[in-house]
Amino acid sequence: MLKTTLAVLALSCALAHAQGITSTVGPRPGLTGNPFSNGFCNNTGGTIFFPSSAPWTIRDQAGGLVFGPIGLPVVQQLGNGLCRTFQWDGRNSGGQPVPPGLYLWEVHWLDAQMNPQPPIRTCFEITDAFVSICANRTTVPISCSAQLTFHSPLSAGLAYVAASALSTAPPIVLSACREVPLALDGLLLISLCSSGPIFVGYCGVLDSSGNAPAEVRFPNDFRLIGVGFETSFVTVNGGSIQSIAVPLRVTIGTPSPPCVFCR
């Protein structure tokens, strides 16, 4: 079923590109229970239309309806070169946060002659995995270290691989639906699955609660002050990636003892 879904997505992407329409969902991945947005842009060279004030639905990877907003049946236009942003709170039609997995954001539209067109489908991922930092202190003095924790309750007991990068863009694209939100830069290559001395605990196994500690010990180089970096991780099940974590950005600050230690 997933292969079929990906094939449909590939066709939808090709149609969108040919028609000059882009549909971008973010964040990628996003944390379960958190909001998402869809930036839908028209670059067809002419005006297009929406059949209602809320012309979109959320579907699971099998095509089942997850959420459909209630919109007014009023045709709305979108001129060439313009975009419209749709918002979804990450909950299903029953008001409950949807579980981790792959989802489709489907937007319905009409061409310049008001003819219905195949919906534009954009695939995105919802995850339970994220990185937290001691005391929520995302600016850490260079004289201290960044104490991180990797979380993924649904991956408890699985192996994980972590890395840091200077940016989340461009991400490492795995498929039409999945991407690791880290740029493939020099910092990533140095930190990937590292066990020290700077990046500690970047490879291992999550405990029975789906957590693992890690640490970034900054070199004593004041030129690093003001530098920010992103950290994410993936969990692995049977040789395949199970979860991809929402990244955390940390900035290196000026010396400011005492350091905060949470463990």
pLDDT for position 182: 98
Report pLDDT digits (tens) over 79-88: 999 999 999 9
> What is residue 6's predicted lDDT score, i.e. its pLDDT?
43
Based on the number of CB atoms within 10 Å of its own CB, is 182 exposed (0-12), middle (13-18) or buried (19 or more)?
Answer: buried
Summarize the confidence of residues 52-75 as an average pLDDT: 95
Q: How much of the chain exceeds pLDDT 90, in percent?
A: 86
Q: What is the pLDDT of residues 168-214, one digit of tens each?
A: 999 999 998 999 999 999 999 999 999 889 999 999 999 999 999 99
- Range ranked top by mean pLDDT from 5-14, 135-144, 223-232: 223-232
Q: What is this structure's pTM?
A: 0.89
Q: Which residues pair with 146 in a beta bridge?
A: 216
Please list, in sequence order, all residues whose beta carbon lies within 8 angstroms of the beta carbon of residue 126, skipping any fewer than 6 positions away.
29, 30, 31, 32, 90, 98, 99, 100, 101, 102, 103
From the list 170, 151, 173, the residue with the least C-alpha distance to 235 is: 151
CB 59 within 8 A of CB 103: yes
Q: Give residue 257's pLDDT.
A: 79
Q: What is the pLDDT of residue 14?
A: 43
Share of the chain above pLDDT 70, in %: 93
For the chain, the helix, strand and coil percentages under 3-state DSSP, each to the nearest 5:
15, 45, 45
User: CB 165: neighbour CB atoms within 10 A?
Assistant: 26
Q: Is the link from the previous residue into 141 a cis peptide, with omega within 30 of 0?
A: no
CA distance 150 to 197: 19
**Higher-pLDDT residue of 184, 19:** 184
In tens, the pLDDT along 115-130 reads 999 999 999 999 999 9
**Domains delineated in the chain:** 2-126 (2.60.40), 128-253 (2.60.40.10)
Q: Helix (H, G, I), strand (E, B), or coil: what is residue 179?
A: strand
Residue 245 in contact with residue 127, Cβ under 8 Å?
Answer: yes
pLDDT for 110 beyond 60? yes
Q: How confident is the model over 207-224, as a mean pLDDT?
A: 96
Q: Which helix (H) or strand (E) holds 14?
A: helix 2-19
